[in-house]
Structures are given as structure tokens and as C-alpha cells.
Structure 1
Amino acid sequence: MPASAPTILATSAGYRPHPRLRFGFGPMIALAVDLAAERGPRRDGPPRICNIGTASGDDKGFQRDMEEAAREAGCVLHHLSLFSQPNVEDVEAYLRGFDVLWVNGGSVVNLLAVWRAHGLPEILERLWQEGVVLAGISAGSICWFEGGVTDSFGPELAPVTNGLGLLPGANGVHMDSEGRRRPLLRELVAEGTLGPALCTDDGTGLLFRGTELVEAVSEVDGARVTRIERAAGGGVTEVDLPVRRLGREL
């Protein structure tokens, strides 16, 4: 069930506390599923989500936690694993069988390197154009842009400038919970190392149709989404964007 237009949901959100499981699926994943259903419901069962956990080395424990959360939410969930080799023969055909491709967090630098080794950038761009919803959290958000800041290299944050570039400019994640990110993003945008940056607090996300930002959304009250741009006279400008509060759970 494809979306009505090429769609990316880039977030610092997706999971919620659960009384029995490590986590449950929150309204952000529900939104991704709804976006994939715009041309009508599936005829062959519940929504199909592929978890892509490259950024955490295809951690098997987290994969099991994702499966439990998906079962509770009434979704079918499988994984694309690339360690130590792809778990399917034809990656593109396999991914085309899902409604949502959800990319989890971890090392965006390692994610990009491994994806390029396996031809994922070209595959993902084709699927995006076909209406498969691309979505993710943290590293799974930054990857769709031209760049951002990351702790992939070590404890100190550093720029990453070789994102997939499906979306223009830079992306900042976890802006309210990781205080070092905003000052560095502002510095990198001011000096031109990164382009204009769209930044999400925890619990928020950015919905794109093609390369255009349609809206900012949030699972929580009071969270901010901001745009940081280089100012003509030097430095940067930073503005808050309107944020729509999500409600539906899976």
C-alpha cells in the first residue's frame, strides 16, 4: 500500500513506554503506517514494516524487542540484516514487499558506509519514488539528509556531510536531551560546513513529500522543532516551526 507521493518521516521519536515490553510503538510509527495506507488498505493482511537496524549492527536483542512491539501493535514486522551478510538474496525485491521501512538509531557513519557497500542508497531512492514510506529515528533520521552532527566517531560530536541527500540541508536530532548538539549545529551552519538544518526535540518528527517539508509533528506536548539557517550578515537565525500534536496509537 504505497503513499500518494514520495514520503519520508524523519524523527527523534517512535517508541513509548510499555507495561510488559521494552517499548511499544508510539503515534509516530502509527503515522508512518497511515501514510502508507493513503491509496487504500492492504488486501493481504495487516501493515508490513521492515526494521533496518544497520546503525546498531543488526542487534539481535533489539530486533526481538521490535518484533514484540509490532505483535502488540498488530503489525507484521521483519528485518533487513546486513551483518555479516544480507539475510535475503534480492534486497530490493524484499524491501518492495513492505509498506514502511523503519531505520533505527546508532552510528549514522557506519550505516552510510555499509549501505553504500551493498547498494542501498540507489535501492532506497527507487522505493521512495514508488511510494514506500521511508522513516526512522536518530541515525535513521539524519541519513536521509545531506548531513548533520553525530557521535559516531567518538564521545565528541562531529559533522557528517555524506548523507544520502534525498532531503536537502542538515538534520539535528535529540536537540532537547543532548545539549551539545545545538551549539555545534549552529557553528557548522554559520561557517557553511552544513546547509540549513531542521532540528527535532525528542518526541517530534518531520514529514516530507518529495523534498518539501509538509509539517512538523509531535508525540508529546511542548516539544520544539526548529530551523537553523545561515544569516546574511554572519551567524545564524533560528526559528520555531508549528508542530501538530499526534494522537493515534497503533
Structure 2
Amino acid sequence: MPADAPTILATSGGIDYGVRTRWSVGALTHHAVELSGVTGRAPRVCYLGTASGDSAEGIHNFYDMAVEEGWHGSHLQLFMMPNVPDLTEHLLAQDVVWVFGGSVAGLLAMWELHGVGEAMRAAWEAGVVLTGVSAGSICWHLGGTTDSFGPDLRPITNGLGFLPYSNGVHYDSEEQRRPLFQSLIGSGALPAGYATDDGAGVLYRGTEMVEALSERAGASAYFVERGPNGTAVETTLETRLLR
């Protein structure tokens, strides 16, 4: 069942510590599943852990969460080889695609190698809801900031570009994130974009940002654009707390 418009919920959250499982699903990811509009059956949710090397532990933890939520879970892995014969067919059969964090540079390289970007675009245009955290947020945009190359953050500029903006994640919890994101936008190295504190996300319908959301009180989202003389202007967005 497709969403009523191409939909992306890009987040710095969506997951929490579990009680009987390692992780549990956070309010942002619950909202992404609700946006798919599924009723009368289990939502089909596909996990991609490419950014963490398709960690077996991550895949196991996802299935624990899927069982806890009553989802029909599946996963798409690329190491050591793709686990499904047709990536596009598999993604088009989903209601929600959930992309986890790790190395966004590694994710984009592997996706380019296997044609995942084209498959994702087909799913997005067909109304499959795309969501994710950290690397799984930056990937849909033109670029952002990343620790993929080491502890000193660097820009990443080869995102899928479904959304014509840059993206800043972990904006309030990692001290390099905010100043570097602003500096890159101020210099023109990155286009204007949206940033999220831990526990916040931005919802796009098509390529328009329509709402900022949070699953943690005090978590905000921001729009950052280029100002005069190489500066950046940051605007805090009205952010709705999910219950």
C-alpha cells in the first residue's frame, strides 16, 4: 500500500533501548510506518544495514524489533553478495524501508556498485516510505557531514540527491557537527539544508520539507542557509513532539 506521495522521514533517531530486546522502535520510526497507511495486515518493513557492513548483530536486532512490533520484516544485505535476486522488486514490495547508521561514505559506495540508488528511487516514487537514522538520513540528500573517514568530520557531497538539500545529523550531541555544517553551507560547499538534534527528524513529501518532528522533549530541527560574506543563517523550526 503506497503512501499518498513520495515520502522520506530523515532522522537522528527512531530507535531506543529495548526492555526484552537490544533495541526497540522509537516514535519517529513508528510514525514512518503510520505514514505508509497500512491497515488490516502487518506492515512490510525492510531493514538495510549497509552503513554498518551488514552486521549480523544488527540484522538480528532488527528482526527482534519486527517481531515485537508485529511487522512483516525483511532485510536487504549486500555483503558478501545481495541476498535477493532483484533489488528493485524487493524494495517495491515493501511499505517502509528503514536504513540504519554507520559509514554513509561506505553505504553510498556499495549502493552505487549494486544499483541500490536506482532501486530506491523507484520505490520512493511508487510511495514506499523511506526512513533512516544518521547515514540513513544523509543518504537521501545531496550531502552532509560525516565521520566516515575518521574522527575529524569531513563533508560528503555524493548523496543520492532525491532531496535537493544538505543534511546535518546529531546536531546537538557531537561538537563538530553544527560548526562544520554551517561553515560548509556558508562557503557554498554544501547547499542549504536541514539539521536534526538527536531524537528529531524532518518529513518530506516529494522534495518539500513539510514538518519537523521529535521523539524527545527539547530535540529540534533547523534550516541552515547561506548568508552574506560566507556566513550561515540558522533558523530553528517549529518541531512537533510525537506521543
TM-score range, shorter chain: over 0.9
- Offset of residue 233 of structure 1: 4.1
Instruction: Map Cα deviations across residues 178-229 of structure 1 (whole Å, 9 max, x no partner).
Output: 1111111111111100011210000010100000001000001111111111
Q: Does 1:186 align with 2:186?
A: no
Instruction: Map Cα deviations across residues 15-55 of structure 1 (whole Å, 9 max, x no partner).
Output: 12222211111111111111111xx525xx30110001100
Q: Does 1:165 align with 2:161?
A: yes
Counterpart of 2:24, as a letter, is G
Partner of 2:30: 30
Instruction: Map Cα deviations across residues 112-157 of structure 1 (whole Å, 9 max, x no partner).
Output: 0110111111111111111001110000000000000000011110
- Offset of residue 232 of structure 1: 3.0
Moved >6 Å (runs of 4+): none
Q: Which residue, out of 47, 59, 79, partners 2:75?
A: 79
* Structure 1 residue matching 2:228: 3-state secondary structure: coil
Unpaired runs of at least 5, structure 1: none
- Offset of residue 234 of structure 1: 3.4
Q: Which residue, out of 51, 59, 68, partners 1:63?
A: 59
Q: Does 1:232 align with 2:228?
A: yes
CA distance in 2, matches of 1:18, 1:113: 31
Counterpart of 2:31, as a letter, is L
CA distance in 2, matches of 1:163, 1:62: 23
Q: Which residue, out of 118, 127, 132, partners 1:131?
A: 127
Work out the number of aligned pairs and report it: 243
Unpaired runs of at least 5, structure 2: none
Instruction: Tell me the percent identity.
Output: 50
Instruction: Map Cα deviations across residues 58-114 of structure 1 (whole Å, 9 max, x no partner).
Output: 000111011111111111211100001100111111111110000000000010011
The TM-score normalised by the length of structure 2 is: 0.98
- 1:97-108 aligned at under 5 Å gives the runs 97-108=93-104
